[in-house]
Chains A and B, each alone.
Chain A
């Protein structure tokens, strides 16, 4: 019994000391919600490393941004919405200038809080598609493309291979997706396409429990024999799906995934049998960039990175983490320029995000030439709807197989407006935009 008391005593004694430690006012606080544990760690680790390493590199090489050190802190969420929100509450007191939830579920919960707490949310190419409408969601940003843009780009590619989307008439297109907010997001547009082009859609939802055993779904694929399969997966779901597809001898070059299925670790476990698997991507693959060499020099070689091996630097998802951090850094730089202050706040960074303009020349200046398509965000358009490209697995690595493909904005924009309007109209108390608009710097 005595031991119990000691344990309880220790727990109680520790409790009062847990108040958030004071933070230095001469740094910019950037919390990173990451997941290096749980069934989604396979996707989460490279992204966490990319984000962390680029920002650390800025600290080591340039002494931060504009001479102000970045205070980077990771909070582990395990891709669990509850823990994500808990992390948000925990870091809120330390005045973060930006939040990266890295989970559609967490993003949905943070969206209404953002304007109240004055912390902008960067949900890079995930989250609520409708939040691209800046007039309704002044605090939410989801560049470079929404899921609906992604789906339209996949259909452009399919149309190119089929010789016109009309050729899909009478055929079957499979959609295998993560059963959750993320996976369901593209369905309205998919159903619209099915109506317009006269093909049939077969849905294969995968729940969290089934992620590692998708036999039922792929049995369905065998039965239905869809001409194309479009995939919206995350975490352990992706490599399993690729393996299962290879196992039933599905033609791999007809399996097309959104950018989140484009990690090396998604294709590698299936080895050479995954050859031909295609995914979208919006950032370049490889470490042959000046900025990434700096990461190796200033961060990885000094042992400040958590990458398992040096050759992981420059992999597909790692580079998406870098892309995310580039957006953060550019937003902070813009904010410093707009306000003239060095230590910026969340309100300033929101303005910085709204004036994001990374053209080809700027990408080169950053030491990342051709790393991504030119990106421009405006007050009304918080997304940019930028082009992405397609990459194909050659058995060992990703190979770029297309030029930059632009989304079908004419199809996507009306749906975005309708969805944003729908979201806002459901809550009569949804705040009207009062934030003024800055000129692009």
Chain B
């Protein structure tokens, strides 16, 4: 097995890193999470260490229920950790003496099934963050929201409710809503999972397009290896529960990328290189699941 040491995976190659104005380096240091509500301690994350460079697209791949989302929730501040520490640009988010980070607009989550507020129009949804933070007046927020929606090809949907637009457009609105907060980190938890594969491919290019305009760090959880290699600077394959990095893959296909990458020789090689490691963990997860039943 060519597993990498569970701690201290080194940051990606510096030359691969995008623009220098990028911010939002995440340092995950020996993070551990044990769920123990009933006395039966379940270890979701085990001494997981990972350095994500500022402006990096870091793709986290792992089997269902492996604890990837636990890690994301710890960064976002939705859940506590039981050991270790997480830093954002050198500042401790959570760690010794502070088990749970505070949620904040510098780390915004885009959820698997979407969390646009159905009772607000798309524009109201996008303008929500700055108004809540008090950084903009309602008029300013609306104006910026309109601009940002226009750059993401969402003009004309401002006054629709999320229930009136397709799921692909909804997901794009949600990413724009997250970007409105000028976050350092975008936390994406399988955002395109529920989309059909054609819509998904459009969304991938849309996401990259948005990314090239706003260089934020992207922490992207997925099951889909093809998606991971197509989007990421780096793909981190996680072990099944407890979750820690098993294998790390630098994707040396230069950005900006478009869909022609998918048919390239290099893409196929990278797929081959990782597919075995992913399959191995998937089988382990499956068998562990059978045992539980």
Bind each other: no
